[in-house]
Structure 1
Amino acid sequence: MTATLCLLCIPLRFPPNRTSFSSTSISLTPIRAQNQEIRVCTNRTCRRQGSFQTLETLSALAPPTITVNPSGCLGKCGAGPNVAVLPDGFVVGHCATPARAAEVIMQLSGGVSDSLGVSKSLEALALRKRAECEVEDGNFSQADLLLSKAIELKPCGGIHIIFKDRSIVRLALGNHAGALEDANEALRVAPRYPEAYICQGDVFLSMDHFDSAEMSYSTALEIEPSIRRSKSFKARVAKLQEKLNAVRTQ
């Protein structure tokens, strides 16, 4: 869900007379009136030039108003990896490094693309990835520390994912108030972020606030109906039903 990428490569259609190409410098006008989409060429040439890594970095750093998807060939194959920005139809070439990807996100978000901002955003991303490894090893306290450091860096995007991740960690540590606060903060940044609603529901379920848990899960399902088929989501619903049945039989 978070940072879920469309598996179908959609052909790019530029608006008439709005296509431009930048290979050495980025000059993008942020569009605040509507959401934006970044399409990353994953065709053969750009793929060899590292477009999958670019796709991963852009997806991790994108704020809620920017979606990132793979794309077919955007042309200019020798200047890849190429990314296109819709709806304006800008194409940015040589987007082969994490720093270059961060610059694109920062400018589209309306921020100043300076080296310090890029560095902080990439450091926050690295901390989040380290935290994921700590969670896999069951080191939740260390993961909490790493995610808190990532939040303090104020990255250009993806902070709603960091808050969601810390909500999961804090729930595992038994910090219900902190977990709920983080889930709510993720939703403040990204109001239609289904994974944050699931985290919110998990906290409510752990606190035996069954009506609130049901509302959170239902909202997540309304936003992203495909989670209905998820084993983990089915398990959550079953656990909620089990607890409700236990209360009713008392």
Structure 2
Amino acid sequence: MNAIHLSSIFQQPFSSFLLFSLPKSKPFNNSGIKASSSEKEGRNKEIRVCTERACRKQGSLDTLQVLSGIVPPFVSVNSCGCLGRCGAGPNVVVLPGPVFIKHCGTPTRAAEVMAFVCFGRDDVEEESRRSLEALALRKRAEDEMGNGNFCEAHRLLSQAIDLKPFGGVHIMLKDRSAVELAMGNLAEALDDAKEALTIAPNYPEGFISQGDAFMALDQVDAAEKSYSMALELDPSFRRSKSFKARIVKLKEKVATANLA
């Protein structure tokens, strides 16, 4: 998959790429305030990206990657089969609706789709730009984390969060929690994990991060609850080697505590 690059904003209005008009929707609240059940139901939307051969050749996998990186907590992004109109790809459909969107083959266009879903209007260039910039910073931070440059990763993630993108903040907070943990800032790591879960209450990786912070603080009961919640939300963690290693470490800590 190609690396994500920022693109210049298209001059053509976004609405010209809609095959049907998109119903107006209220903006997502990404400020860290937990949404009520009724708010979640009203905001629940899904974006599906065609990843069949024709759309793949036109860049739909990159579109899927960008949308997944800037998604707000109450929008889901998934791949799907052919949506027709193969010559106008990559094609995207927004549900409920359905609303079909054509020519979604650049990071800018993908960000405009997400912003349009969130805000229900087409004057979203500034929101799209900030969200793409934040995503690029997060990707750079991930590289720095992989190289062990945690201070630089922390700086990049903080810069990305400060941009106040319309989506992906919970992912950035989860990543920064891991960085704080690696730097030995245990309380800050827990704070970031908790904030990620405040924004996205059903975020499995957020519970993993929270569990890791609790483990580092020797709060094994709280860590066990966090890991259990992550597993409940995403049973596929059972097959994860890293998750299994966490459970082994947790059991060892529990056994040590029982002997004390």
TM-score, structure 2 normalization? 0.84
For 2:248, the equivalent position in structure 1 comes to 238
What aligned pairs does 1:156-167 form with structure 2 within 5 A after superposition?
A: 156-167=166-177
Q: Name structure 2 gaps, 5 residues minimum.
A: 1-14, 27-38
When structure 1 is superposed on structure 2, of 113-122 and 52-61 the one drifting more is 113-122
Distance 1:37 1:24 in 2: 18
Contact 2:44 2:75 survives alignment (8 Å): yes
What secondary structure does 1:95 align onto? coil
Match of 2:125 in 1: 115
Pairwise CA RMSD of aligned residues? Answer: 1.6
In structure 1, C-alpha distance between the alignment counterparts of 2:129 and 2:113, rounded to whole Å: 13
- Kept after mapping to 1: 8 A contact 2:18/2:100: no
User: SS of the counterpart of 1:122?
Assistant: helix
- Asked whether 1:203 is paired with 2:213, we answer yes
| 2:186 counterpart of 1:186 | no
Partner SS, residue 104 of structure 2: coil
| Counterpart AA for 1:145 | R
Query: Structure 1 residues 50 and 239 mapped into 2: Cα distance closer, same or farther (>3 Å)?
Result: same
Contact 1:23 1:79 in 2 (8 A): no
Does residue 1:93 correspond to 2:135, yes or no? no
Q: After the TM superposition, which of the residue ranges 124-133 and 36-45 deviates more from structure 2?
A: 36-45
Letter in 1 for 2:22: L
Q: Deviations over 1:27-55 (max 9, x none)?
A: 42237615211111111211111111111
Q: 2:17 aligns with which of 16, 21, 24?
A: 24
8 Å CA contact 1:23, 1:94 repeated in 2: no
- The 2-side partners of 1:114 and 1:195 are apart by 29
- Partner Cα separation in structure 2 for residue 220 and residue 84 of structure 1: 29
- C-alpha change, 1:24 and 1:229, in structure 2 (3 Å) is closer
SS of equivalent residue, structure 1 residue 142:
helix
* In structure 1, distance between residues paired with 2:54 and 2:202: 35
Between the aligned partners of 1:123 and 1:111, the Cα distance in structure 2 is 21
Counterpart CA distance in 2 for 1:224 and 1:44 is 29
- Asked if the contact 1:128/1:162 (under 8 Å) is kept, the reply is yes
Q: Deviations over 1:200-250 (max 9, x none)?
A: 010111010111111111111111112112111111111011011112222
Count residues in correspondence: 229
Distance in 2, matches of 1:102 and 1:173, equals 33
Identity of aligned residues (%): 57
Shift of 1:114: 2.4
Alignment of 1:56 with 2:65, yes or no, is yes
Select 1:139's aligned residue among 149, 158, 180. Answer: 149
Deviations 1:48-107 (A, max 9, x none): 111111111111111111111111111111111110011211000011111111111112
> Match of 2:238?
228
Runs of 4 or more above 4 Å deviation: none
Q: Which residue of 2 aligns with 1:13?
A: none
1:145-170 deviations in Å (ceiling 9; x for gaps): 00000000011111110000000000
Letter in 1 for 2:222: S
Asked whether the equivalents of residues 43 and 75 of structure 2 are also in contact (C-alpha less than 8 Å), the reply is no
Name 1:11's counterpart in structure 2: none
2:180 aligned to which of 149, 166, 170: 170
Q: Determine the C-alpha separation between the residues in 2 that align with 1:97 and 1:162.
A: 22
Contact 1:46–1:82, Cα closer than 8 Å, also in 2:
yes
Q: Determine if the alignment matches structure 1 residue 214 to structure 2 residue 224.
A: yes
TM-superposition CA deviations, 1:115-142 (whole Å, max 9, x none): 2211111110000000000000000010
The offset of 1:111, in angstroms, is 6.3
